[in-house]
Amino acid sequence: MKRLFNGRPFTGVVPRGRAGKGLVVEGRARKGRVVRSAAGALVLAGAALGGTAVPASAAAVEYVALGDSMASGPLIPDITGPIGCGRSTHNYAHELASKIGASLRDVTCSGAKTTHMTQSQSTSVGGVDTGTVPPQFDALTASTALVTLTIGGNDVGLVGIAQDCATLDPTATPCKGKFEDEVAQRTSDLGPKLSAVLDGIRARSPQARIVVTGYGLYIKRNGCWPVQPVLPTDANFLQGSVNAMNDVIRQQTTAHGGTYIDLVTPSAGHDACQSASARWVEGYVPVHSAAPLHPNAQGEAAYAAVIGAALNA
């Protein structure tokens, strides 16, 4: 018997454009690569029902969250796990797990690159060594039913470049010319790295639904200098680089049978140029408890809602 989501057959397929206004979701789960149990279907269905309680008889879905600081939520209260990972109890993985009633293993970590899926990662806070954490893939098992992944930003190095591009001088030379070729090469190099990561997830968790997010809208077109101290040309270069990275992530995700989550489209009107109450990401000087140039608690909760809608689309 086919499992049902909201009264219709559940196939594990996420059709393009059916996850809600402003949301682009791509990808088709390969045959046999969906959440297998009726309990799992019931749990995931809760995402689109605003966290409807899962029946007591339903076993919790085994959910593993992988990724970098965009996923870990550094400086958003409260801290959980290794301090150097900057992992928050209100990052999108925790918000999503709570909504769908999943059993979460969150191994996201600030500073993580694709290499840290299979290699241990050295962490630090303010330049002080805080030890190493195991490879993130150690959290995956054959019974893992759901995996979320956000990775690539540190491979491309966009946060560091954004910091280098900051200026309060309106006559300064735009930084685009200095970094454009470097970013383009790193973005191209990300493709095969991400391909290997997705293959590694599938090998370790063959039944899992793999959901990969892009990165959101950090700054609107032409920016808002001096509120955010980047020149208009550089604001467009920086967000354009995020968008190009997202294209690589989308292409690799769909090629590997995963579900890609676009976070730029639903982030419109929530970038770092917006008011404190509207923004989902912080600027160079945060106005909420969150790391500079990273999502805040409101953003992480919004991302969880976007992902949750995709799970039940």
Is pLDDT above 70 for 96?
yes
User: Three-state DSSP class for 231?
Assistant: coil
- Architecture (CATH level 2) of domain 4-311: 3-Layer(aba) Sandwich (3.40)
pLDDT bucket at 79, cuts 50 / 70 / 90: very high
Residue 55 tokens read as 């029946």
Portion of the chain with pLDDT greater than 90, in percent: 80
Is pLDDT above 60 for 151?
yes
- Kindly state the average pLDDT of the residues 4-26: 31
User: Three-state DSSP class for 81?
Assistant: coil
Specify the higher pLDDT residue, 93 or 7. Answer: 93
pTM of the model: 0.83
62-67 and 146-150 beta bridge pairing: parallel
How big is the chain, counted in residues? 313
Specify the higher pLDDT residue, 51 or 300. Answer: 300
In DSSP terms, which residues pair with 149 in a beta bridge? 66, 212
pLDDT bucket at 59, cuts 50 / 70 / 90: confident
Is pLDDT above 50 for 124?
yes
pLDDT bucket at 281, cuts 50 / 70 / 90: very high
Mean pLDDT of the chain: 86
Write down the domain spans for the chain.
4-311
In DSSP terms, which residues pair with 106 in a beta bridge? 65
pLDDT bucket at 313, cuts 50 / 70 / 90: confident
Cβ pair 61, 146 in contact under 8 A: yes
What per-residue confidence (pLDDT) applies to 60? 87
- What are the pLDDT digits (tens) for 192-208? 999 999 999 999 999 99
